[in-house]
Structure 1
Amino acid sequence: MTDDVPGVASAETPNTRQRLFNRYFTAILIDLTVLNLFVEYSDYVVIDSFTISLLTAFLLQVLLKLTLAIEHRIGAYFNAKTGAVAKFLRFFCAWAILFGSKFVILAAVNVAFGDDVDFAGPLHGVAIFIAVVVAMLVAEEAMVRFYHRLG
């Protein structure tokens, strides 16, 4: 019946591409919201326009997912090894990648948007940038957990 009426939502199960689209679309909107809350309520985050903040949220989402993919790949390599040294290297490499990537991501934002995006404050803006990223990840995780609780 809904096939005959354009614009009516379907109850069909989404395919993998549709689920991925929904996941990343939602994540980018969450990141956009968090980023703009920091712009509005913090003197340390300045973004010149909504369009730039949307593009920044998109870039951050892509780079954060890339960082997590790299960390998981290296983690899997060390998880396949046995011994205390491998376990130490697993955690050390995870920390180094997850922490160090923030400097790379901040540099990428600077290259992509220049003076249109400014993270200022302690440690040349690194502290507030890490706070923004952590807030984004916490907000994304909270939404995922809420979604799963819906059943």
Structure 2
Amino acid sequence: MKESGLSFLRAELAQKPTNAQRLFLLYYNGILVDLVVLNLFAEYSGKVVISSFAVSLCAAVLLQLLLKLTIAVEHRVAAFFKQRRGGLAKFLRYFCAWLVLFGSKFAILEAINFVFASDVRFLGAWHGVLTLIVVVVVMLLAEEAVVRFYRRLRSRDQPSAGD
């Protein structure tokens, strides 16, 4: 079999990634997905205004970091209440998780306003908070879709029990 000039593209030559590389790819993927979603909203919606691509890239990085921080805080709060017993603890676990996830959008919007001033604006109900929530939900759904696609590629390459 003749060796082509593109032999480096063969999957069997790929090395198993380290945990640091996996973490890098997780954030890299998240930032790129956020960047695409943010720019699609900026292009096709009148409620997201971004002054340039470079600003949208920086905003995507900031959003990714703040969203990961929000999820980490939510998990810690949930873990705190999960250790307690009873109906009130269960109610507080879900209520506080919702409070962190919902309330964080106000903090994220303020962080974006502080860092980018008028270069990034979310317009609409509640001074843009509703628009930000929609954008963040779409970002999270898009990230999840990419992760699920990635996982399906793994199961596709696994030999079946009958092989």
Quote the offset at 1:121 in angstroms.
1.4
Quote the offset at 1:64 in angstroms.
0.4
Task: Tell me how far apart the structure 2 counterparts of residues 63 and 118 of structure 1 sit (CA, whole Å).
Answer: 17
1:58 aligned partner: 61
**One-letter identity of the residue aligned with 1:15:** T
2:14 aligned partner: 11
Task: Tell me how far apart the structure 2 counterparts of residues 62 and 146 of structure 1 sit (CA, whole Å).
Answer: 23
Aligned-partner SS, 2:121: strand
Task: Tell me how far apart the structure 1 counterparts of residues 68 and 87 of structure 2 sit (CA, whole Å).
Answer: 28
Q: Which runs of at least 4 in structure 1 moved beyond 3 Å after TM superposition?
A: none
Report the TM-score when normalising by structure 1. Answer: 0.93
User: Is residue 33 of structure 1 aligned with residue 36 of structure 2?
Assistant: yes
1:72 aligned partner: 75
Quote the offset at 1:85 in angstroms.
0.6
| 1:38-69 Cα shifts (integer Å, max 9, x gaps) | 00000010000000000000000000000000
Number of residue pairs aligned between Structure 1 and Structure 2: 144
2:50 aligned partner: 47
RMSD of aligned residue pairs (Cα, Å): 1.0
2:144 aligned partner: 141
**One-letter identity of the residue aligned with 1:67:** T
| 1:66-90 Cα shifts (integer Å, max 9, x gaps) | 0000000111111111100100000
Task: Tell me how far apart the structure 2 counterparts of residues 72 and 125 of structure 1 sit (CA, whole Å).
Answer: 26
Larger deviation, residues 91-100 vs 139-148: 139-148
1:84 aligned partner: 87
| 1:23-46 Cα shifts (integer Å, max 9, x gaps) | 110110000000000000000100
Task: Tell me how far apart the structure 1 counterparts of residues 98 and 72 of structure 2 sit (CA, whole Å).
Answer: 14
**One-letter identity of the residue aligned with 2:151:** H
User: Is residue 100 of structure 1 aligned with residue 103 of structure 2?
Assistant: yes
Greater Rg by CA = 2
